[in-house]
Amino acid sequence: MRFDIVVRNARLPDSDGAIDVGVLDGRIAEQADDLGPGETELNAAGGLVAGGFVDPHVHLDKALVADQVPTNESRTLAEAIENDRERKRAESASDVKQRAERAIEMHVRHGCTRIRTHVDIDPIGGLTALEGVLAAREACSEIADVQIVVFPQEGIECAPGTEDLLEAALERDVDGIGGIPALERTDESKKRHVDTCLSLGARHDVAIDLHVDETDDPTARSAEYLAARTIEEGLEGRVTAGHVCALAGYDESHAERVIDLLAEADITVISNPGTNLMLQGQSDQHPKRRGITRVDQLREAGVTVASGQDNIQDAFYQYNNGHMLETASLIAHAAHLQAPAEQRAVWGMVTKNAASVLGVDHGMEPGTPAAFNVFQPSVRTLTDALRCRATPRAVIHDGAVIAETTGETTIG
Ligand SMILES: [Zn+2]
């Protein structure tokens, strides 16, 4: 048999020895010593070969505009949303397409070929951002799988007309409904916002993935309400909650109740450490809260936790470049994760846990879609890759080598 690709001398995660990996028809076909020939042959030379990175939460439509928007003087989420409006009013679908393509390519270069993006749907930009991201997804279809969540960035009730726009957006080729209940004016309208998102998600049979309690306010209750309503509507396992920052500020007994509810509702929580560390805690004097949800207690309760880039050089966040090991490093520090088992957990937050958000298979087992990375021979373990935030030397997606990075540093 002739494989499409054979990667020789591959060191799989948690494996002592090296093995050959064969790829055929877009899937990992076989792992064995001395596999037969491949159309394309790569020699990993004992370097790490591991399932690719997955970004479960990013905003491709607003990526790479950091130099076009006013400085976020207060470093708050509220000012970031405000500062992005003028740009959004003037944006065109072709501008969004071009920036989203660049942001996808930044992910791909760093070994992340599966991405879920939220896309603003609101009365300011209408469906312009969606048109642009749909076009970028099409243009990049050979190098990345991009899921699109339509996202009411300006709220629903507090931005009249948004619900009709969401309905129109959900008629397009999209994958999920987003939400941001914290923007609504009253506790009752925040609840109606959650109800609207659940109902749209169920009716259109798409993923439900909300920005939840992205605030320090310890009275914020949307995570609790979302979990309870998910159970009541029988939507367990179909809902994702991004951020969940307020949980960090709850008293212990209330936090435990909410965590138990999130576990019962089988809601995956996505912590976005870059943006949360930067935008939360701004009203505090020292000691300042840092906005990172309770990763340790969520994991102990059996809640799947993933991490995303969220913002790439935009009005919300000046940094990020699509490198999921930067995100992994940030969450490792913010959530105090460094023991060997915790390093594997961190790796999982930007790989298999993130893949579960997208509902895609992940890993190196035969039969799994061939979306994996080949690292330099000096990078032999997950720990090595985490420590140096390694860029893969080869990126495989959909059974093809789609990116290669070369270059060595010479010292002296
Ligand atoms: Zn977000």
* 234 Cβ contact list (under 8 Å, min separation 6): none
Provide the whole-model pTM.
0.97
pLDDT tens digits, 288-304? 989 999 999 999 999 99
pLDDT tens digits, 141-150? 999 999 999 9
Ligand 1 center from residue 144 Cα (angstroms): 20
| pLDDT value at 409 more than 90 | no
Ligand 1 center from residue 272 Cα (angstroms): 8
Q: What are phi and psi of 308, to 5 degrees?
A: -130, 165
pLDDT tens digits, 157-207? 999 999 999 999 999 999 999 999 999 999 999 999 999 999 999 999 999
Give the sign of the dihedral formed by CA 221, CA 227, CA 228, CA 233.
positive
Rounded CA separation 44/9 (Å): 5
Ligand 1 center from residue 20 Cα (angstroms): 39
At 280 the pLDDT is 95
Ligand 1 center from residue 308 Cα (angstroms): 9
pLDDT tens digits, 336-388? 999 999 999 999 999 999 999 999 999 999 999 999 999 999 999 999 999 99
- What does pLDDT average to over the chain? 97
At 408 the pLDDT is 79
Ligand 1 center from residue 270 Cα (angstroms): 10
Strand-pairing partners, residue 266, are none
How far, CA to CA in Å, does 367 sit from each of 26, 200, 362, 396, 399?
9, 34, 10, 15, 12
Find where tokens 């990375």 sit.
373
In percent, how much of the chain has pLDDT > 70? 100
At 381 the pLDDT is 97
Which residues are tagged catalytic? 214
At 158, list the tokens.
Answer: 């507090």
Ligand 1 center from residue 119 Cα (angstroms): 9
Length of the chain: 412
At 123, list the tokens.
Answer: 């009365």
Residues 130 and 148 sit within 8 Å (Cβ to Cβ)? yes
Ligand 1 center from residue 261 Cα (angstroms): 22
At 407 the pLDDT is 79
What SS3 string covers 213-241?
CCCCCCCCCHHHHHHHHHHHCCCCCCEEE
pLDDT tens digits, 3-41? 999 999 999 998 989 999 999 999 999 999 999 999 999
Q: Which of 137, 106, 133, 41 is nearest to 321 (CA)?
A: 106
Ligand 1 center from residue 57 Cα (angstroms): 6
* 106 Cβ contact list (under 8 Å, min separation 6): 312, 321, 322, 323
pLDDT tens digits, 242-264? 999 999 999 999 999 999 999 99
Rounded CA separation 189/193 (Å): 6
Residues 124 and 87 sit within 8 Å (Cβ to Cβ)? no
Rounded CA separation 342/297 (Å): 13
Q: Which of 240, 253, 256, 259 is nearest to 356 (CA)?
A: 240
